[in-house]
Chain A
Amino acid sequence: MSEVVIQLNGVSRSIEVPPDETLLSVLRNRFELTGTKYGCGEGQCGACTVLVDGKAARSCQMPVSEAAGKAITTIEGLAPAGKLHPVQEAFLEAEAFQCGYCTPGMVVAAAGFLASNPNPPREEILKHLSGHICRCGTYPRILVALQSAAAKMKKTP
């Protein structure tokens, strides 16, 4: 057990955990932030994606000790004041989900990606999301959502 301090959705949080427990497990089972999902445990599906210092990362592949001192943003932290993130709005508009289980990971990944790539060409979006699985097959809508979110974010920086 060791004490780990992370900046979780803007708030400094301290916890006693085994240092090799995954960030995913700590988020879900210790902080009860269940919006971040388990999908495969091998970094292949993207359901567990969170932002670490603003960059998308697979929380199932990251020991919590590696997250120490870093800023972690989960899906719960994307719309802090209740105002939806442009990516969330775009997913709703395009109805880019069916069962919705992959959606938090997709949304967080997209938010991180668009923050550093304000005007991505189609191929870049596809490449960036190729590590995310939507088993319901809503990929065409996810692409539309990202394109419209990108346009929206450009207008209101």
Chain B
Amino acid sequence: MSTPETDLDREILEHEVSRRLHWFDVDRRKFLQLLGGGLLVCARSRTARGQESGRARPGERELPKEMSAWLHIGRDGKITVFTGKVEMGQNIRTSLAQQIAEELKCPVEGITLLMGDTERVPWDAGTFGSRTTPTMGKQLRAVAAAAREKLIDLQAEHWDVDPSTLTAAGGKIVDAAHKRAAPYGDVTFGKNLIKDVPDEPRLSPASDWKVAGTSVRKVNGPDIVTGKHLYTSDVTRPGMVYGKVLRPAGFGATLASLDASAAEAISGAKVVRDGDFVGVAATDLYTAERALAALSAKWDLPAAISNKELFEELKKPQPSGDRNEPRVSGSVEEGMGNAAVKLSRTYTVEYIAHAPLEPRAAVAEWKLGVLSVWTGTQRPFAVRDELAEAFRIAPDKVRVFVPDTGSAYGGKHTGDAALEAARLSRAVGRPVKLTWTREEEFSWAYFRPAGVIEVSSGASREGTITAWEFHNYNSGPAAIATPYTVANQKIQFHPSKSPLRQGSYRGLAATANHFARESHMDELARELKMDPLAFRLKNLADPRLKAVFEAAAKSFGWGKRKPGPGRGFGIAGGVEKGGYVAACAEVEVEKSSRKARIVKVVEAFECGAVINPDGLRNQVEGSVVQAIGGALFERVLFEGGRIVNPKFSSYRVPRITDVPSIEVVILDRKDLPPAGAGETPIVGLAPAVANAIFAACGVRVSGLPFLADGVVREEKRA
């Protein structure tokens, strides 16, 4: 595996995206005709670097100068923007429209974003890694700026005036001197025009923003509150039937025998078998469920470990050895030798589930050799390729549509439901809708990796960290590097053989690594008898990280107020994906019962120039709430190749009654480029709460989740 050269490459590798970056050429002129003429402005992809370094397989096209986004202005003035990014609650349908409106000088309402339709939008790796704002946002601003300039030039030519005397405003080209204006739709004069974005487009600085930078309401909010919005599971097709899949008795099980006679006897139901894949399709959901229940199968189950052996299992050396080399600077041995205070600790993280409220779903339809699939996925093109591969057809015979999705949090990278629906549909010759049950979602999706993290450190009596050694087993390398200045460090990620199917999750391993690092920092500060905030600031050089720590501390009253009896304060923070976060937590622990609750959280976040302040607040608040689940109670229990708690009644997620007072402090840095904000705000909460629990009751919790049994437990420490 080659070393990632750019952040984007690294991102793609970490998200296990296939590196087969297909590009199926779209004839732009034909495409423009399909759109009814007008002006088409295209942005060149900046993601082509991987191919240029020769990673593409032989026979596959390279895409160095291909398109990553395009914008169309029709003769009716309708503005449509095409992007492979998808909306799943992170609010990019709105924030991208704002950025386009800002540069194109038109109302947000006049812009339609066509997202995640693989036949209409340019190839995109997927919506993950907080890349939409820093990459797609930037590209769409450039596209919009290029469109604006082209419109001005065209109109200047028509009016025979100097382009510099014209401006763009309110969806029109305005000639102030002659008191005249032309709506965008009129400017192309029936011509079909194609323009590429120049390398250095003139973009408005954030300090001049009028539409970007404001709290524009979610563009399809009215459809959401009225139930009009159609999620994948709401899509219907003429003649559609309902599918169900027979799940194995456990992970890795093989089908020993199947008796389908009872199911086949049910009127309106059809059983489909393809190797170990068994499913049913029926004219209505009720019948499909009945037919599924009537199937009688015997499975051969391989031996499987349970939660009890999990952490031991993850620590087992891998036959191939550690693929990832340690990142070393200075000498940890030397740094430890010079330390007055030394500490070695182990932290653990259980598997958790994304549990998006809309379970995986797909509607598949075969027509004239073309497979169309509606599905909620973060990677429409990868799902397209998955389908093409599974059915041995050309990818241009597959069209994937992604309706705005009922959330994902990193959990919808695969096309499982799409494959299943397509398989059933091909067998029965009708469109098939397949929606996973909650139990299927909890059992057969994939999980945030569990992990074991070992940290050893040393510090001088004055509180300077002299040595830092950090080993992460299985949970992942995201945010594994320490943001603190340490001369001697060794940091290593050790991949393990995971007993459960695991994958991406909001923030990836950044939560686990921040939990371990920031808990450890707190422990070090206490050994040194230093204030945890002062200790951090002493070892920090990064002014942006310092700024969020100081902002959170100030709003929280860190050092200014004292916790009441049974209560404690904790602080933690870090940087990941261009976002800077610091959280302060106040926790109450009942002395006798050791029941705990979070009383108050203040979280400061900075991600450069803010595109939509209220949307950003919503993301930060939501991250804090979701983080409470992973910190306090969420964990996937498994035994005998099955998930033991595949229901909301046994897998506890945050409820409205779990929510503490949450204060969000946003630092808007108009002088810095915007970064994504969907992930990093989730990483600070767990360590801040762990540190607050220690402050409240003197017990150090070192395993996520802290309150799996409802109370703070005394733990054996390595």
Contacts and interface: CB of A to CB of B under 8 A. Distances in A.
B226 A45 contact: no
Contacts of B242: 29
Contacts of A103: 224-225, 227
Given A44-B649, A103-B224, A140-B621, A135 B407 contact: yes
The A interface is mostly helix, strand or loop, or mixed, namely loop
Given A29-B242, A41-B437, A92 B217 contact: yes
B648 A100 contact: no
A31 B648 CA distance: 27
Interface in A119-157: 126-127, 129-130, 132-143
B417 to A, nearest CB: 14
A98 B91 contact: yes
Interface stretch (B51-59, B109-117, B522-530, B653-661): B653-661
Given A38-B435, A44-B648, A95-B221, A140 B227 contact: no
A45 B356 CA distance: 11
Contact of B357 (A99, A126, A141): A99
Contacts of A28: 234
A91 interface: yes
Interface in B311-365: 355-359
A110 to B, nearest CB: 11
Contacts of A29: 242, 284-285
Contacts of A42: 438, 647-649
Interface residues of A, number: 56
Given A29-B285, A39-B438, A139-B625, A133 B357 contact: yes
A88 interface: yes
Nearest to B647: A42
Contacts of B409: 135
Contacts of A30: 284
Contacts of B226: 35, 75-76, 78-79, 84, 88
Contacts of B437: 41
A107 B224 CA distance: 10
Given A103-B224, A137-B624, A140-B621, 19 more contacts: A28-B234, A29-B242, A29-B285, A34-B230, A34-B234, A35-B227, A37-B357, A37-B358, A42-B647, A95-B618, A98-B618, A100-B406, A126-B656, A133-B648, A133-B655, A137-B626, A138-B625, A139-B625, A143-B659
30 contacts: A29-B285, A30-B284, A34-B227, A34-B233, A34-B234, A36-B227, A37-B231, A39-B357, A39-B358, A76-B227, A84-B225, A92-B217, A92-B222, A97-B89, A97-B221, A97-B224, A100-B89, A101-B358, A102-B357, A126-B656, A133-B655, A134-B357, A135-B355, A135-B407, A135-B653, A136-B89, A137-B621, A137-B624, A139-B659, A143-B659
**Closest 7 A/B residue pairs (Cβ):** A35-B227, A137-B625, A99-B89, A101-B406, A75-B227, A100-B224, A98-B89
Interface of B: 88-91, 217-218, 221-222, 224-231, 233-234, 236, 242, 284-286, 355-359, 404-407, 409, 435, 437-439, 614-615, 618-619, 621-626, 647-649, 653-657, 659, 662
